[in-house]
Amino acid sequence: MPYLLVVAPTIPEDHKEKFLAAWPQIVEQIKGVPKVLGVSAGPVIGEDGEKPKDFKFIQTIAFATLEDAESFQKSDWAVESKKKFEEAAKAQGLDATMPPHTVFETGPFPEQTALPAYTQMSRISVSDESKADELKGAWDAFMKVIGKEAWGGKSVGGDKTYGIGLVGWDSIQDVQAALSKPDAKAAYEKCKAMGDSKDALIQLVQY
């Protein structure tokens, strides 16, 4: 099974332009680390149906195996990046805690030439791993109602188990129209009721 490392940093507003200017170089460095299959990333333009208060830039890194994902996190590049991040944050009086990141075991990566204009990333926690299949069933039912095919998986390691689903949309209007239908809203709420949930609408780009 393939694996996806999801990193979700919050970038201070006064560092946004500097980060975006450096991103092309950063992504090439990530792709240069052995065993990295691909990188997709982009800004979050919506969180739980609202405009985000802070600038967030979600990064996803694909691997063939869990061992490859773990090796990446211990790589010279990752260790050096962590060191630089902490030093820069402390020098500017910012939180030096590394951005949240989670590894997910997923289904086979989708075969597609381009990502949709918008990607909805939904993450829902479950009380224990035995509930993961129940969550997947509820999510599949939700996808059937809105006529979409989703791709995702479940987290590995960590204190909590999370399910993740990614759905492509052509426009924000399409998202709003689909979720405004009573049956879709009910199916969606059933999924979210299974645990703590977080939705992000991302302008994801494949590199």
Helices 182-192 and 132-146 pack at an angle, to 10 degrees, of 160
* pLDDT, average across residues 173-190: 91
Structure tokens at 16: 């946004």
pLDDT category of residue 112 using cuts at 50, 70 and 90: low
pLDDT category of residue 145 using cuts at 50, 70 and 90: very high
pLDDT given for residue 97 in this prediction: 55
pLDDT given for residue 205 in this prediction: 93
How remote is the C-alpha of 141 from its chain's centroid?
A: 21
Tens of pLDDT, residues 71-96: 998 999 888 887 877 776 676 665 54
pLDDT given for residue 35 in this prediction: 95
pLDDT given for residue 113 in this prediction: 64
Torsion sign (Cα): 190, 106, 45, 54: positive
Residues of the chain with CATH 3.30.70.100: 3-103, 114-200
Tens of pLDDT, residues 39-62: 999 999 999 888 888 899 999 999
pLDDT given for residue 100 in this prediction: 63
3-state helix, strand, coil in the chain (%, to 5): 40, 30, 30
pLDDT given for residue 12 in this prediction: 80
What's the maximum distance between 2 C-alpha atoms anywhere in the chain? 51
The CATH class that applies to domain 114-200 reads: alpha beta
**Of 19, 22, 20, residue with least CA distance to 94:** 19
> Residue-wise over 71-92: b if at least 16 C-beta within 10 A, else e?
ebeebeeeeeeeeebeeebeee
pLDDT given for residue 89 in this prediction: 65
pLDDT given for residue 71 in this prediction: 94
The mean pLDDT of the chain is 87
**pTM assigned to the model:** 0.88
Q: Is 3-103 a domain of CATH 3.40.30.10?
A: no
pLDDT given for residue 93 in this prediction: 64
pLDDT given for residue 101 in this prediction: 77
**Quick check: 191 and 139 in contact, CB under 8 A?**
yes
